[in-house]
Amino acid sequence: MRLRVLVYNVRGFRDGVGGVVDVVAQVKPDVALLNETGSRRALRRFARGVQMHAAPDPWSPLARRVKDAVLVRPPWRIVDHRQRRFAGTDRMYPRGVSLAHIGRTGYRVWAASVHLGLRPGDRRRDAEELADLVRALREPLIVGGDLNELPDGRAVGFLSDRFWDAWLLGGDVAGATFPASDPTARIDYLFVSEGIRVERVLVPAGELVRTASDHRPVVAELTLPEEPAPERR
């Protein structure tokens, strides 16, 4: 089973929902892992525009939201969803992970959208908490997001020791995603668990992606492992 995944920091849709919709509509991902998703209203408008379903955004009346999101395109659906706010995160700019169990007939996958902070120590600590959270998951796992760190950083290194950095397995010539106008840094990543085959990873080019956000998206073509057939009795 092929799975097309998009990882994208959409900058709160500050440059308009329409531009991001146009970028994503060209890609037509099965799964989108978004960061900086702005208001709930903007995220709903975006989801309608790209004909995808977003995992529910937990209500947080006493705290600022963790603005990461997992979206799927039918026939994929959200089976279950949870959000973890990282311990010790900044109250004004909270960091965390949105984790969704997604599925279609014969397939189940865990998808995590994560946005790490600006301080190296915080990023490494949050990467450890993320790894602990997904350690016991049985089905295949994809983890994507803006890690605010180059490939030689501590948090990226920690995750690379536990999962496969998709870019290293199938990356196109250039992998830089930031800044979108003239990218020089690879700070947006997709990691996959054992058993998922990476066919290709690319960073789209063109005028649309230069102006829709301050990041460029990462797009990956994956092949999921076949589920074992049930035993005969």
Structure tokens belonging to residue 109: 């996958």
Q: Tell me the average pLDDT of the chain.
A: 92
**Using CA atoms, how far apart are residues 221 and 136, in angstroms rounded to an integer?**
25
- Burial of 179 by CB count in 10 Å (0-12 exposed, 13-18 middle, 19+ buried)? middle
pLDDT value, residue 154: 97
Residues 136-159: tens digit of each pLDDT: 898 999 999 999 999 999 999 999
Contact in structure between 59 and 32 (CB atoms under 8 Å): no
Q: Answer yes or no: are the C-beta atoms of 202 and 219 closer than 8 Å.
A: yes
Which residue bears the tokens 């301050």?
A: 214
Tens of pLDDT, residue by residue over 62-118, are: 567 889 999 999 999 999 999 999 998 887 888 999 999 999 999 999 999 999 999
> Which comes out higher in pLDDT, residue 226 or 117?
117
Domains in the chain with CATH codes: 2-223 (3.60.10.10)
Handedness of CA 59, 63, 64, 70 (dihedral sign): negative
Taking the CA of residue 172 as centre, how many other CA atoms within 13 Å lie in the half-sphere pointing to its CB?
Answer: 15
Q: pLDDT exceeding 90 applies to what percent of the chain?
A: 84
pLDDT range class, residue 174, cuts 50, 70, 90: confident
pLDDT band at 57 (very low <50, low <70, confident <90, very high): confident
Least confident of 20-34, 49-63, 125-139, 160-174: 49-63
Strands 96-104 and 68-72, sheet pairing: unpaired
Tell me the pLDDT tens digit for each residue of 182-204.
Answer: 999 999 999 999 999 999 999 99
